[in-house]
Structure 1
């Protein structure tokens, strides 16, 4: 069954989550309503009002693909992409299936430079489209290779064409397509070049190398564009006559396997592909929203850090400034929780501050000791001395709030969860990832600017 990520679950409306879950479950069991459910899931993804416009714009191409999939589902269309190295006969195979010269073929590498498609009228529904793609190993053709992979990822079924035993490039490409959960038919093209014994040896090798990637009954042979052969005829008088003949095209195994799959599960493949794509896009949407929230969250945290640093630096009362600092941390977490659409009460935020603070005390006790010492020094220090000690303590307060903010943001980004390692591991990871000197330097600069502005 298609799995929906926790991040996706958090940003999906409950009714859409239920429909997506039902659609993927029923699709696997062949429920007749799976196409309708897949359509509803895609429509809900497009129309979800909670997706920011900036996220939609950054994923515009993906949203266009969702609309194209909706059109395909509505008309019952199925897309089959051909995939493989250059010059293995991909275009020739599609031409042979179509019964016409729809796609260009050439002895030169890289003849196919963009994805093209043709309608396979031979299949009874007339809604099957064959898609040609560029070769995956074209020299200086990284863009073409990326295009080929994207087309294969959007298709309902892939014809992977080879003309010999598998290369490392082909094995890797097969694994990448299989990871997209697309059915694969592996076609040994140009089979006319090999004797019957050689074909059997090659097929055995292909099945062995693709075990667990391609089903054995999906490994077939084809002769899409047989090469001419010199035929010598000898008459009754013993005279020899030479003639070049082209053997007949033979793609019967490919047709039969395609027919079997399309008859048994053609529409199910389309619905499952649509659900997979919707799930992938939803994850992308979730990641972009999370990224946007994190960017805003970092600005928010820095603002509260500076506020707390100034408050602590200017407060002449020892220890009391620590109480005020805790209030700032609680306010920051409440604000962060609203940003992540997971609102917390002030009591809940206070408990979170205590949890994070407790782990910080265990992992960075020295810093907290400096924090209290600096506070105590204020009791007998006024004027310049007070500003010096207060500024030092303010920087430490800034640093501690930065850690609290990072830990709280991690907690919220994971759906109000610390994860398997708990808060101690999260705080430790944050401490290990921070450059304390850099943050303290930034703290002093932020506090100085705030004091100059009188805020």
Structure 2
């Protein structure tokens, strides 16, 4: 329902409804505020604007709450009295069109309803399937997460850029893809790993994450005892973020492995969102605690290795 020419927001809503294969009635309300010639002009403009989205015959003008009008009532003595009266709502054109559609296109409406139910069922199946696949993928991700942490801890690298590069492996990507029925050669998976690392660095996420990780580990005695602590935690963190990003990317391709292609733009958006969701101090601290517990040699202090935030 509109009150004049379409706004951008209204046009977006129409496009969304059309994409869902909904039957759309476009209603011009408050036609009483226009002259008859103006109503005709606005309707013609709307028909041109929504051509291909809304059928011309499904665009009607009504007035649900007409404005009061001044009425003169002449008296027997020749005088007159002015009063304000509110006209009845003018919605008959919409009722007539809806009745015509219900009468003439009932079979099409039934099929459309069945189609909508099929789409909803398909979405539910996809959601359930992705939940099952995620349950299978998480142990794989965590295994590579701890492997990367152990390697980085034992062999510290000069920078976290290099830690991220070493942590995100083609083998992990290949195994995760297989869970989602996407077959990747090791060479292709390694290529994707390179794209992912490049994306992290170009978006400044490695640098931003290093600041968060350093803040979490700052003042920690373990950091001084074991110089590779930051690298170990960083490797676990980057592996986890990369894996979660790829899992979300793979979830969108759930029917088969045919023709799967990496969309770098979509990957960048997902990576940005995943990192934003997992840069809260409490979440990073929890991962750091888990990592350091796994890396702590026998005989290290059992005191909580990460200082409380604040």
TM-score, structure 1 as length reference: 0.38
Alpha carbons 1:221, 1:253 under 8 Å: kept: yes
Contact 1:232 1:241 in 2 (8 A): yes
Q: Structure 2: 5+ residue runs without aligned partners?
A: 201-205, 211-227, 237-290, 300-310
Per the alignment, residue 128 of structure 2 pairs with: 285
Task: Determine the structure 1 residue equivalent to 2:155.
Answer: 392
**Aligned-partner SS, 1:162:** coil
- Match of residue 179, structure 1, among 19, 25, 40: 19
- Distance of aligned partners of 1:246 and 1:393 in 2 relative to their CA distance in 1, 3 Å threshold: closer
- Over 3 Å counting, the alpha-carbon distance change for 1:207 and 1:250 in structure 2 is same
Distance across 2 between alignment mates of 1:433 and 1:269: 42
Q: Does 1:251 align with 2:82?
A: no
- Relative to structure 1, the CA distance from residue 425 to residue 214 in structure 2 (aligned partners, 3 Å threshold; closer, same or farther) is farther
**Residues paired across the two proteins, number:** 211
State how far apart, in whole Å, the 1-side matches of 2:293 and 2:3 are.
69
Q: 1:410 and 1:247, CA in 2 relative to 1: closer, same or farther beyond 3 A?
A: same
What SS class does the counterpart of residue 242 from structure 1 fall into? strand
The offset of 1:194, in angstroms, is 1.9
Counterpart in 2 of 1:441? 232
- Aligned-CA RMSD value: 4.2
Q: TM-score, normalised by structure 2?
A: 0.53
Q: Which of 282, 286, 302 is the matching residue for 2:145?
A: 302
The answer on 1:164 being equivalent to 2:9 is no
| Structure 2 residue 249 is the aligned partner of structure 1 residue 403 | no
Larger deviation, residues 276-285 vs 436-445: 436-445
Shift of 1:186: 0.8
1:235–1:209 CA distance, 2 compared to 1 (3 A): same
Contact 1:164 1:188 in 2 (8 A): yes
Task: Determine if contact 2:169/2:190 at 8 Å carries over to the other structure.
Answer: no
8 Å Cα contact 1:229-1:244 kept in structure 2: yes
Residues 236-270 of structure 1, C-alpha deviation per residue, up to 9 Å, x if partnerless?
98543434343333322212222233331332232
Task: Give the corresponding residue for 2:191.
Answer: 425
Give structure 1 stretches of 5+ with no counterpart: 1-160, 314-390
In 2, are the aligned partners of 1:306 and 1:446 still within 8 Å (CA)? no
Once the two structures are superposed, residues 131-183 of structure 1 have per-residue CA deviations (whole angstroms, 9 ceiling, x without a partner) of xxxxxxxxxxxxxxxxxxxxxxxxxxxxxx12222223322332333333322
Check if 1:197 corresponds to 2:43.
no
On the 8 A contact 1:407/1:430 being kept in 2, the answer is: no
Tell me which of 262, 270, 283 is aligned to 2:113: 270
Shift in Å, 1:189: 1.6
C-alpha separation in 2, matches of 1:398 and 1:202? 58
